[in-house]
Amino acid sequence: MSDLISALEEIVGPGQLFTGEAIDDRYRADIMGRIHDRPLCVARPRSTAEVAALLRIAGEHGVPVTTQGGRTGAVDGSFAAEGGIVLSLERMNAIEEIDPVSMTITVGAGLPLQAVQEAAEEAGLFLPLDIGARGSATVGGVISTNAGGLRTIRWGLTRDMVLGLEAVLADAGYDWKHLMIGSEGTLGVVTRATLRLRPKPRSVMTALIAARDFDKVVTLLRDFEADLGGQLTSFEVMWRDFFVLVTEANRAKRAPPMTAEHDFYVLVEAMGGDAGSDMERFEATLGRAFDRGDAIDAVIAQSEQERANIWAVREDMAGPMMRLVPLFAFDVSVALRDMPRVAEEISRSVCDAHPGATMLVYGHAGDGNLHFVIGIGDGSREAEHKIDLIVYRAVERAGGSISAEHGIGLAKRDFLGFTRSAGEIALMRTLKRALDPGNILNPGKVIDMAGGALA
């Protein structure tokens, strides 16, 4: 046992491992004031690497590990049995990054919820998650319980706010639902689903707005989100070439709702509960955008027909796209702030290699999701592979993802390594083997179980 203790102490360093009487009562006290068993030791790691090392040693000795955040849980989840190790994450409490453009915050799991709320507020942003124990409950704790809290009716559970996680695993997790979601039939067959529904909106406001540059697009997004108080339902951005292609090709069918001279077009739609006041608010938001110069042209749909015409600019694209065939289509995600740069970079590389190439850019910018349509007049596999490499390398450099909403399937499988680490891919294979040992579920998709070379 002393072997184990000294090995653990070596990992966390002097003064960060406690045994016996030296264990402070707080590591055993729950919100009801009960004092739980005295664990073998309390270790206070400072980094993910230390946590990984601790878990490895614990695994070798077969000793259980219980992770502790703020110990404000209500079901005794954070206390170790006698002989177990308590892993307190209280030192892993850094605010690592706030990205005000993409509106994300990256923090250590040991940071109390309230500290996140305050950091967000200081940046002019808002973390909707709120619970009574905000002052002590940690980010790791609310994630581990998927805490709901005081504003769940509007913004959902913790799960709805977690964009990414770093985790150290001793074994696979238990949340099979979320393992199944997004696994493209490779881990199981979904035969029934219960989906969350919302009340039907009573109002719809739709506008097409032109902006001078992408910074204005970002400003429009943030203003509509904030001013409309959550009523914003669509924010579809179209780069000029996309707008020109679709509106010109469809001109015989319908007149374009706006001239094609602008660099960016945004389709904004909001839904609310009261047609009169919602439209007033929507128009006021747009009016202010004009006053500030964020919007330089706009039309608001005054009828269902006008609404359909506006949506047609974004959606009636199958026919126009036929003019570009052969074409290659992409679905990637990159941070909002990186979108114009990444699109420009890809366009330049494509056009350098293939003068006269066409590239259209559009997508769900508010979700960090862009689509590229690229035509170089050559639809061969070799040509496709070259364009794939240009796009995915740019996405990789930007720290994005090769897939946003369309999945991986077979087409992107061999590019997975561009935006997933070797460790992540190995974990996918492990999970796959555990859940589908015979490799009978949609084999060959998403991940190559034979471990073939990455492109």
Closer of 318 and 440 to ligand LAC (Cβ): 318
List the one residue out of 420, 409, 212, 425 whose CA is nearest residue 329. Answer: 409
The token pair at 1 is: 């046992």
Q: How far is the CB of 58 from ligand LAC (least distance, A)?
A: 45
Q: How far is the CB of 341 from ligand LAC (least distance, A)?
A: 21
Among 38, 134, 371, 432, binds ligand LAC (CB under 6 A): 371
On whether the CB atoms of residues 154 and 128 are closer than 8 A, the answer is: yes
Q: How far is the CB of 246 from ligand LAC (least distance, A)?
A: 11
Q: How far is the CB of 56 from ligand LAC (least distance, A)?
A: 42
Return the half-sphere exposure (C-beta side, CA atoms, 13 A cut-off) of residue 129.
Answer: 26
The token pair at 349 is: 């590389």
Q: How far is the CB of 373 from ligand LAC (least distance, A)?
A: 9
Closer of 76 and 405 to ligand LAC (Cβ): 405
Closer of 110 and 320 to ligand LAC (Cβ): 320
Q: Which residue has the closest beta carbon to ligand LAC?
A: 371
Distances (CA, A) of 87 to 1, 65, 77, 78, 210: 17, 7, 13, 9, 53
Which residues inside 376-405 make contact with ligand LAC, applying CB under 6 A? Answer: 405
The token pair at 226 is: 């904030």
Query: Residue 441 belongs to what H/E stretch?
Result: none
Which residues inside 20-39 make contact with ligand LAC, applying CB under 6 A? Answer: none
Closer of 274 and 405 to ligand LAC (Cβ): 405
The token pair at 12 is: 């966390």
Closer of 60 and 405 to ligand LAC (Cβ): 405
**Binding mask 320-359 vs ligand LAC (x if CB under 6 A, - otherwise)?**
----------------------------------------
Place of tokens 């909001």: 270
Q: How many helices (H) and strands (E) does the chain have?
A: 15, 13
**Binding mask 405-424 vs ligand LAC (x if CB under 6 A, - otherwise)?**
x-------------------
Closer of 317 and 342 to ligand LAC (Cβ): 317
Closer of 10 and 405 to ligand LAC (Cβ): 405
Closer of 371 and 432 to ligand LAC (Cβ): 371
Q: How far is the CB of 363 from ligand LAC (least distance, A)?
A: 6
Q: How far is the CB of 4 from ligand LAC (least distance, A)?
A: 53
- Scored b (16 or more CB within 10 A) or e, 301-339 reads beeeeebebbbbbbebbeebbeebeebbebbbbbebbbb
Number of chain positions touching ligand LAC (CB under 6 A): 2
Q: How far is the CB of 403 from ligand LAC (least distance, A)?
A: 11
Place of tokens 């614990």: 58
* Whole-number Å distance between alpha carbons of 82 and 37: 6
Query: To 10 degrees, the CA torsion angle through 292, 295, 301, 306?
Result: 160
In sequence order, the 6+-apart residues with CB closer than 8 A to the CB of 11 are: 43, 45, 50, 53, 54, 57
Closer of 281 and 371 to ligand LAC (Cβ): 371
Question: Is 216 an interacting residue with respect to ligand LAC (CB under 6 A)?
Answer: no
* Whole-number Å distance between alpha carbons of 370 and 238: 10
Q: How far is the CB of 109 from ligand LAC (least distance, A)?
A: 34
* Whole-number Å distance between alpha carbons of 200 and 198: 6
Using DSSP's 3-state secondary structure scheme, residue 58 falls into helix
Closer of 321 and 427 to ligand LAC (Cβ): 321
Q: How far is the CB of 316 from ligand LAC (least distance, A)?
A: 11
436 alpha carbon, distance to own chain's centre: 27
Residues contributing to the site for ligand LAC (CB under 6 A)? 371, 405
